[in-house]
């Protein structure tokens, strides 16, 4: 029952954030594929100044593998994660790729790959996508499934 309450509450919180974003200026940052920039060309400027990784990176070992794309300021980097963790969040925490605050709804991701989003400062947050769809679960509530594509997108 407690798990169901957390899931329902998480969905309601996501709906509130989406509604608030729709009411204000909502600029989702996505990869600009027309610029000809590749992952190895990411400059350490703007949000990427504090990034841990700026090119395709493979991390860890384990029986499960998944890919995570991190997008911000029209640039992206792809991670191949190997883990024995059950959830995307646990695997990303294991490799130091995310940080955030534990809430009653689960982990609120604030930093990804060294890039921080702070909704209270500039209405920015990390949007989580599974197979191109906005996720209805947080990273810590998303079980790793073979073949699923995961994205964390810096959004304002």
Domain boundaries, the chain: 2-155
pLDDT reported for residue 19: 36
Report pLDDT digits (tens) over 1-11. Answer: 445 444 444 44
Kindly report the length of the chain: 156
pLDDT over 70 (residue 15):
no
Q: What are phi and psi of 18, to 5 degrees?
A: -60, -40
pLDDT over 70 (residue 122):
yes
pLDDT band at 37 (very low <50, low <70, confident <90, very high): very low
With a pLDDT cut of 70, the percent of the chain lying above it is 73
| Contact between 98 and 112 (Cβ < 8 Å) | yes
Q: Which of 80, 59, 49, 82 is nearest to 150 (CA)?
A: 80
pLDDT over 60 (residue 112):
yes
Q: What are phi and psi of 49, to 5 degrees?
A: -55, -35
Q: What is the pTM of this model?
A: 0.74
Cα 36 off chain centre by? 24
Burial degree of 73 (CB within 10 A; 0-12, 13-18, 19+): middle
Phi and psi based region of residue 48 (left: phi greater than 0; alpha: psi -120 to 50; beta: remaining): alpha
Across 10-36, average pLDDT: 37
Domain 2-155 fold is Ferric Hydroxamate Uptake Protein; Chain A, domain 1 (2.170.130)
Concatenating the DSSP letter of every residue in 84-106 gives S-SBHHHHHHHTT-EEEEEETTE
pLDDT over 90 (residue 85):
yes
Please provide the average confidence, as pLDDT, over all residues in the chain.
81
SS3 content of the chain, % helix, strand, coil (to 5): 30, 35, 35
| Contact between 151 and 129 (Cβ < 8 Å) | yes
Report pLDDT digits (tens) over 131-140. Answer: 999 999 999 9
């Amino acid at each position: 029952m407690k798990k169901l309450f957390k899931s329902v509450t998480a969905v309601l919180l996501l709906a509130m954030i989406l509604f608030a974003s729709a009411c204000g200026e909502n600029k989702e940052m996505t990869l600009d594929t027309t610029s000809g920039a590749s992952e190895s060309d990411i400059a350490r400027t703007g949000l990427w100044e504090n990034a841990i990784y700026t090119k395709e990176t493979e991390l860890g070992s384990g029986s499960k593998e998944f890919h995570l794309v991190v997008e911000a300021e029209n640039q992206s980097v792809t991670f191949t994660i190997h883990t024995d963790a059950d959830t995307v969040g646990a695997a990303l925490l294991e490799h130091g790729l995310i940080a955030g605050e534990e809430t009653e709804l689960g982990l609120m991701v604030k930093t990804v790959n060294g890039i921080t989003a702070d909704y209270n400062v500039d209405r920015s947050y990390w949007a989580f996508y599974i197979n191109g769809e906005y996720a209805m679960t947080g990273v810590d509530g998303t079980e790793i499934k073979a073949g699923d594509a995961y994205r964390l997108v810096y959004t304002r």
